[in-house]
Amino acid sequence: MKLTVVAASGGIGRQLLEQALAAGHEVTAVVRDPGKLGETSARVVRADLARAGAGELRAAVAGADAVLSGLGAVGKAGLGVAEAGTRALVGAMREAGARRLLVVSAAPIGTVASPQRPNPPRHDPGEGPVMRHLLTPVVKRVLRAHYADLARMEDAVLASGLDWTVVRPPRLTDGPLTSDYRVAYGRNLRGGSKVSRADVAHCMLRSVGDPDTVGRVLGVAD
C-alpha cells in the first residue's frame, strides 16, 4: 500500500514509519525537520503543519491509500499543532482525493469538552474506579491545554467527511512491539493504564484495511 505518515519523526510517527517500511509499504514521511528523521528509504516531505496550508500537503497525500498521523504537542510550545495541523491535513486530503485517515488522540478525550461537543459524558464507560476517580481527573488537570487541543482535533476529524479512525491510547511508553494489546470500540479499557508507542503504531497499521474501524474511536491498551 501507499501510506503517508505525518509527524514521522515523533514517538509514534517513527514507529509507524519503521513498521510500515518493514512490512513493505511505499511510505511518504511528512516532517518539519528532515534532519531529525535520519536515514530512511521513505520519500520525505518537509512541512510545518502548525503553519501549513492544504496546498503544501497535497503532494504528500496524493495517491495515498491511507494517511496516518502522530500529530500532537510536545511541551507548551507545540500547543495547537494537533488541531491546526489536522485541519490542514484534512483540507489537503480533500483536495487530493485521499480518503482514509487514522489519527492518534488520548484516552481521556472522550470526556473533554470541545466546540462540537460542549457537554461530553463525565466518565468513560471503560474506566474502572481508580482511573475514574483518581488518575483521570489528575491527568486531565495537568494536561488540560494539550487535551483541549486534541479534543478540537477530534472535532476536525469527525467533521471531515473522510474515512477516519481515532485511536485513543492511555499513558505511552517506549516499550517494545508486542502485538499483544487490547482494543475496544468507543471506550477505554478496564485496567488499561499504559501501552507502548510501538503497539499503538501496530494497531493503527492493522486498522488501515479493517472496514470495521472506519468512523470509529478505538481504545487501545496493554
Helix axes 144-158, 81-96, angle to 10 degrees: 20
- Confidence at residue 143, expressed as pLDDT on a 0 to 100 scale: 61
pTM of the model: 0.92
Contact 91, 53 (CB under 8 A): yes
d(CA 222, CA 51): 35
User: What DSSP character marks residue 6?
Assistant: E
- Confidence at residue 17, expressed as pLDDT on a 0 to 100 scale: 98
d(CA 71, CA 120): 23
Q: Provide the Cα torsion 61, 212, 117, 121; round to 10°.
A: -140
| DSSP letters spanning 65-120 | SEEEE-----SGGGTTHHHHHHHHHHHHHHHHT--EEEEE--GGGGGS-BTTBSS-
Contact 82, 71 (CB under 8 A): yes
- Confidence at residue 221, expressed as pLDDT on a 0 to 100 scale: 97
**What are the pLDDT tens digits along the chain (222 aa)?**
999 999 999 999 999 999 999 999 999 999 989 999 989 999 999 987 766 555 678 999 999 999 999 998 676 666 788 999 999 999 999 999 999 999 999 999 999 989 999 998 888 887 766 566 555 666 666 567 888 999 999 999 999 999 999 999 999 999 999 999 999 999 999 988 899 999 999 999 999 999 999 999 999 999
- Confidence at residue 219, expressed as pLDDT on a 0 to 100 scale: 97
Quickly tell me which residue has 475514574 as its cell: 132
What class does CATH assign to 2-221?
alpha beta
- Confidence at residue 129, expressed as pLDDT on a 0 to 100 scale: 67
- Confidence at residue 92, expressed as pLDDT on a 0 to 100 scale: 93
